[in-house]
Amino acid sequence: MFNERQLQTLHAAIDRIIPEDDFPGGVEAGVADYLLKQLGRDLTHLAQDYPRFTDALEAEAQAAHCQAFAALEDGQQDALLTRVELGEVEADWPLDPAAFFADFVEHCAEGFYSDPGNGGNRDGVSWRMIGYEVNG
């Protein structure tokens, strides 16, 4: 579904949506695993759009900085993602950048806070972060 460059772009974007702090960032917390799993399940209708999103994000980084998105500094990635969120893009996008970005952020949150059985929230990291205790 994704080539290596697309995965690098996806991982970098996930880690800007959920950056590492005292707790793991999005990729380490399993958000990418959740997303890839869901693209074969509940999000199959977006399976073709996600690679298009990563390609467009990469094209946007090249247009703005002549670098790969994953190679940009955190602040540059954040600024670029803010422009995408606002729909203020330079590159040609095959999908609505602002609308798809909103879905992407929602999917990242789902992967971070969902039940670990869904592929994300590795080891219940987000639950520990918010103080949620599972009785078991």
pLDDT digits (tens, 9 = 90+) for 104-135: 999 999 999 999 988 899 999 999 899 887 66
Extract the tokens encoding 21: 């702090």
pLDDT digits (tens, 9 = 90+) for 11-32: 999 999 999 999 999 999 999 9
For residue 133, tell me if it sits in a domain.
no
Are 37 and 119 a contacting pair, CB within 8 Å?
yes
Give the torsion sign (CA, 65, 71, 75, 81): positive
Q: Which of 37-41, 85-89, 122-126, 130-134 comes out lowest in average pLDDT? A: 130-134
For residue 88, tell me if it sits in a domain.
yes
Looking at residue 135, what is its pLDDT? 63
How many domains does the chain fold into?
1
Range of the domain at 88: 4-16+26-121
- 32's CB contacts (< 8 A; 6+ apart) are 7, 10, 11, 14, 26, 111
* Distance linking the first and last C-alpha atoms of the chain: 37
For residue 115, tell me if it sits in a domain.
yes
Extract the tokens encoding 85: 């969120």
